Structure 1
Amino acid sequence: MNESEINEMVIKCPACSVEGLAKSIMKEIEIPHFGKVLETTIQCPKCGFKHSDIIALEQNDPAKYVIEINKNNLSVRVVRSQSATVSIPEIGVKVEPGPKSEGYVTNVEGILTRFEDAVKKALKLFDDEQSQKNAKNTLKQIEELKKGNGTATLIIMDPFGQSNIVSENVEISEIPEEELRELKTGFSHIEE
């Protein structure tokens, strides 16, 4: 990663509202296989608030990235922009971008961990028998994939082509127009 300009300032904390304590750091960096991004971090020593985000500074053509999850590629690098939809159809999990979506850099195992955390939260929210059964089954499937048992398909669909799966085994294709129209971007639109 090549770092360029770093902008640091002290701001009012967005969580506890204490003036002049939270540190805001913005830096533009170049990520191989991805391009220029703006990495932002806000940290407050008073209340412990922390927020990080990666914002792509370049727009590419819409792209669909597909890779088989297996024991040999759990460490493959994954870059997910704030506008990308991530799914693993075989186990029925999908994350679509919303207004608070954040970009991140992780690996295939990290994606599985993120889904695992989301399913654990859902377990606490929905206490009916069927939801509990479905969630526990999904957790078992994710656990098995993380152990390297079995295979599944990781799909990232990015309307701005800013995501990436850094592997020679990734299939990158265009997103068909009808699918592109249905894809959420995480950005709010005001129609007049």
Structure 2
Amino acid sequence: MNEDQLTEMIIKCPACSVEGKAKSIMKELEIPHFGKVLETTIQCPSCGFKHSDIIALEQNDPAKYVLEINKNTLTVRVVRSQSATVSIPEIGIKVEPGPKSEGYVTNVEGILNRFEDAVKKALKLFEDDESQKNAKNTLNQIQELKKGNGTATLIIQDPFGQSNIVSDSVKILEIPEEELRELKTGFSHIEDG
């Protein structure tokens, strides 16, 4: 499959299992500052299922990307691969990759929006006073950052070096071996035993 080639197939829906209804689309692209990726989309008209992903086709050295979040960096482009961990330590929030992790391209404000949505869901799930208090505090801190008030640190750790923060202000660091061993990748593996 080359850059201009688009592959479309009709498949069995992974959600409702209706045969011959879901459309699978795959396209190889070259994304600046990121490299070659495979963009995949599955849509099912029967049940409304939709899944999109960006899968990196190149592997680089592990990297840790660090950027100060402030009013001037909210529009900075962020590429997060499906294997990256995203955190803002000052607020105490972190998203680690799992088996259903998806890659995405957004900006710093988009990352804050994703965290905000997750905290709002947590507010509905946990009803005890302590959880509510912590979630509301976290939500307030995220909203203040989105307004350009205050600063915090955005950290993306990618064991395969496929993520990126596109800014002259970003620090790109090596990940120490002991830290690298602790990082989740989102991929399952079976050990011989």
Which interval holds the TM-score relative to the shorter structure? Answer: over 0.9
Give the percent of matched residue pairs that are identical in Structure 1 and Structure 2.
87
SS of 1:188 mapped into structure 2: coil
Where does residue 151 of structure 1 map in the other structure?
A: 151
Aligned runs of 1:108-147 on 2, under 5 Å?
A: 108-147=108-147
Shift of 1:3: 4.1
Where does residue 40 of structure 1 map in the other structure?
A: 40
Structure 2 unaligned runs (5+)? none
Q: Deviations over 1:121-151 (max 9, x none)?
A: 1111111110110000000000011111111
Where does residue 162 of structure 1 map in the other structure?
A: 162
Q: CA RMSD in A?
A: 1.1
SS of 2:4 mapped into structure 1: strand
SS of 1:4 mapped into structure 2: coil
Please tell me the residue identity of whatever aligns with 1:130: E
TM-score normalized by the length of structure 2 = 0.96
TM-score normalized by the length of structure 1 = 0.97
Where does residue 98 of structure 1 map in the other structure?
A: 98
Please tell me the residue identity of whatever aligns with 1:72: N
Please tell me the residue identity of whatever aligns with 2:35: G
Indicate whether 1:8 and 2:24 are aligned.
no
Q: Structure 2 CA distance, aligned partners of 1:164 and 1:4?
A: 24
Please tell me the residue identity of whatever aligns with 2:156: I
Q: Structure 2 CA distance, aligned partners of 1:185 and 1:85?
A: 8
Deviates more, 1:15-24 or 1:66-75: 15-24
Aligned runs of 1:161-180 on 2, under 5 Å?
A: 161-180=161-180
Please tell me the residue identity of whatever aligns with 1:60: N
Please tell me the residue identity of whatever aligns with 1:119: V
Q: Structure 2 CA distance, aligned partners of 1:16 and 1:188?
A: 24
Q: Structure 1 CA distance, aligned partners of 2:156 and 2:17?
A: 37
Shift of 1:4: 2.7
Indicate whether 1:20 and 2:20 are aligned.
yes
Q: Structure 2 CA distance, aligned partners of 1:21 and 1:120?
A: 34
Please tell me the residue identity of whatever aligns with 2:30: E
Deviates more, 1:9-18 or 1:48-57: 9-18
Where does residue 181 of structure 1 map in the other structure?
A: 181
Q: Deviations over 1:95-140 (max 9, x none)?
A: 0011111111110000000001111111111111101100000000
Where does residue 63 of structure 1 map in the other structure?
A: 63
SS of 2:90 mapped into structure 1: helix
Q: Deviations over 1:138-168 (max 9, x none)?
A: 0000001111111100000000000000011
Please tell me the residue identity of whatever aligns with 1:86: V
SS of 1:46 mapped into structure 2: coil
**Moved >6 Å (runs of 4+):** none
SS of 2:5 mapped into structure 1: strand
